[in-house]
Amino acid sequence: MTAGLPPRRDRAATRPPRKRLGAMLVIGLAGLGLLVLLAVVAPWIWGDDADRLGPEVHLGSSGEHWLGTDALGRDIFARTLVATRPTLELSALATLIASTVGIALGGLVWVGGPRLRAVGLRVIDVMIAYPAVILALAIAAILDPGPKACVIAIGAAGSPTFARLTANLTASVAGRDFVGSARLLGVGPLRLMRRHILPNIAEPLLVLLSVSYAHTLMALSALSFLGLGVQLPDYDWGQLLAVGLQSLYTNPVEAVGPAVAVVLAGLSASFVGDGLAAAAERSSAPAMKAKASGAAESDPVSAIPDRTAGVPDDAVLVIDGLRVLRADGTALVDGVTFHVGAGEIVGVLGESGSGKTLTAMAVARLLPGGLHATARRAVLRDPGADELDLVASGSESAATRRRLATEIGIVHQDPSASFNPALKLGGQLTETLRVHMGVSRREAARRAVEQLEFVRITDPKARLRQYPHELSGGMRGRAMIASALLPRPRLVIADEPTTALDVVVRAEVLRVLRAANERDGTAMLFISHDVGVVGDLCDRVLVMYAGRLVEELTTADLRAGRAEHPYTLALLAATPHLDDTPSPEDANGDRRLAAIPGHPPRPDERPPGCAFAPRCPAVSPICHATPPPVHAPAPGLSVVCHLPGRRSATEEKPSEATR
């Protein structure tokens, strides 16, 4: 049994070069193939020789008996060959038990929710820490000696290794965009595991399977050797070895056959494992390229002023006092209030780490584990149905999952990570329609083709039969938008969908989003750190800093530089424009962009006053001492600042807001 694969870096340091690994894989496969062939044919060819008693007992090696005879004059070479079948069969069975139990356990820990995860991972850790052979010995000793007990014992003792690896691998896949999308689509935990996670973690599990087979074979032979496994008159290699070792000093050749067989079979399986690991590592490089609790603190939402009065009746999304909290109570998003009207595109701007993504993920109920959201009010409105509560505690009902899946569409930053690489595009695009809207497979495919045409993907019928990696980057981006739009959602959340794209593809993605907004009147929340893109696409802009909303303004005001918060002004000053005239004092003839000095504070180190104060060019003493007030002349327009509109510390504070 194995204590698991060593960490990747250590393996790389100790592993032979690639060419040798390729040769090892071939040798290992050839060895295992030969053993399987032997297991099939040996009982027919050598079965009689293996059981035939003879007068010449404990014979040494001879032309007639290559590996001598045992105490009853039976040919040990024939017995070793015949023992191949039970040995391989029992090892396969024990490996099957270990892998099935382990993978199920490791997967359940991840799909079963945070509490089960915390307990499950601890249990797996404890089981791993206990030496597997000792565990197998204990189980085998408790059960009646025999092959059945051995297989169960070794299977059970090997399962924690599979569970740990599955849990670790699932953790790395569970955060990928396509899993988040599947969760939003309401895919249940078991289906999530089977369809979206297991196909993407199969390679390392396969490697572990072959390594584990080698260890299982050794462990089974060891238990038979100790008299706990296969019982006479049946025999496997371990049994033969135990009998052979009794004559070690008088006729040592008796032990050679089974000993060599155990070692050769173990080596072959290990070679296969190492070869597969090397192949997996080689193929994982392009695949990666192609990719994607309760709070300790009391909830101060009630302390945040209510600003939803006057929000238009047709607002699709209404968020009031949204907070996203870590388990230790630190607010990563702190009291964010905004709304998105029907047919409106609202941009969310801010530096990296300002809380844009967490705000969006909280709206979609897709926060990563360990975080949770609270709000005075966070609802998706639908004139024909009840408001959908987006921060309701407790488990989601099937109806809630269906509404989340069909009423919110998500466009992620990385199109490669948004699709499951192991599934064809057609199944992924039509999943929501079929699972949640009861649309037939044929009709769902027709709508998918229509939507792909809408986003200008050529030959849409053929695309449905392709895998995501067969599409170009730009096409994947548009296919992702098509996927988000297919159920005709009321709200689309686009999380930096243009960040990784070149200008041509970016323009195409923006055009498609705008077209969808105009065609369906879909409300959109568009997250970006690019002032230019937000200015081009959006109607209104939310500016976030250090997890808080600092300004809401119209795009027209943003484009005209009529922002009032010094942070928004600083973002504008740091944004290049194509029509900028070079500054005469700049030797290179380039316009100097005003970098914002310093860094945003960490969420757990926000100052008591304004979080932007340490970097603000217009700062005054009150900014450090007192939280800034909200100036909100109308719903959808606000600035959170002591001195709105002031551009530098020496400038006079305007007598009234410019709006």
Ligand X SMILES: Nc1ncnc2c1ncn2[C@@H]1O[C@H](COP(=O)(O)OP(=O)(O)OP(=O)(O)O)[C@@H](O)[C@H]1O
Which residues lie near ligand X (CB under 6 A)? 326, 332, 350, 352-358, 368, 370-371, 529, 603
Residue 96 vs 596, nearer CB to ligand X? 596
Q: Which residue, 311 or 543, has its beta carbon nearer to ligand X?
A: 543
Q: Closest Cα to residue 4, out of 172, 151, 208?
A: 208
Cβ proximity to ligand X, 132 vs 527, nearer residue:
527
Residue type, 656: E
Nearest approach in angstroms of CB 441 to ligand X is: 37
> Which residues are within 8 A (CB) of 246 and not within 5 positions of it... i.e. 6 or more apart?
none
Judged by beta carbon, residue 83 or residue 358, the one nearer ligand X is 358
- Tell me: cis bond preceding 233? Omega within 30 of 0 counts: yes
Q: How does DSSP classify residue 645? A: T
| In contact, 110 and 117? CB cutoff 8 Å | yes
Residue 178 Cβ, how far from ligand X at the closest point, in Å? 18
Which of residues 1 and 349 has its CB atom nearest to ligand X in the complex? 349
Give the integer Cα–Cα distance in Å for 16 and 19: 8
Q: How far lies 481's CA from each of 420, 475, 512, in Å? A: 15, 10, 8
Rounded to the nearest whole angstrom, what is the least distance from the CB of residue 498 to ligand X in the complex? 13
- The rounded distance, in Å, linking the Cα atoms of 431 and 442 is 12
Give the nearest distance from C-beta 358 to ligand X in angstroms.
3
Nearer of residues 329 and 368 to ligand X, judged by Cβ: 368
- Residue tagged 């998918």 (tokens): 448
C-alpha 585/C-alpha 591 separation (Å) is: 9
Number of other CB atoms surrounding residue 290 within 10 Å: 17
List the strands of the sheet with 630-634, edge to edge.
Answer: 408-411, 491-495, 523-527, 345-349, 540-545, 548-554, 637-640, 630-634
Compare residues 38 and 348 and give the one whose CB is closer to ligand X. 348
| Nearer CB in complex with ligand X: 229/350 | 350
SS3 92: helix
CB nearer to ligand X: pick between 24 and 570:
570
Instruction: Tell me how far apart the alpha carbons of residues 220 and 1 are, in angstroms, rounded to a whole number.
Output: 10
Neighbours of 466 (CB within 10 A): 15
Closest residue by Cα to residue 422 from 464, 468, 461: 468
Question: Can you tell me the distance from the alpha carbon of 368 to that of 586, in angstroms, rounded to the nearest whole number?
Answer: 46
What gap in Å lies between CA 246 and CA 254, rounded to an integer? 9
Buried b (16+ CB within 10 A) or exposed e, 51-61: eeeeeeeebeb
Choose among 87, 86, 88, 64: nearest CA to 75: 64
> Which of 487, 600 has the CB closer to ligand X?
600
CB of 611 to ligand X, least distance (A): 12
Q: Which is nearer to ligand X, 305 or 368 (CB)?
A: 368
Contact of 474 with 467, CB cutoff 8 Å: no
**The pair of three-digit structure tokens given for residue 350, joined into one six-digit string:** 């801010």
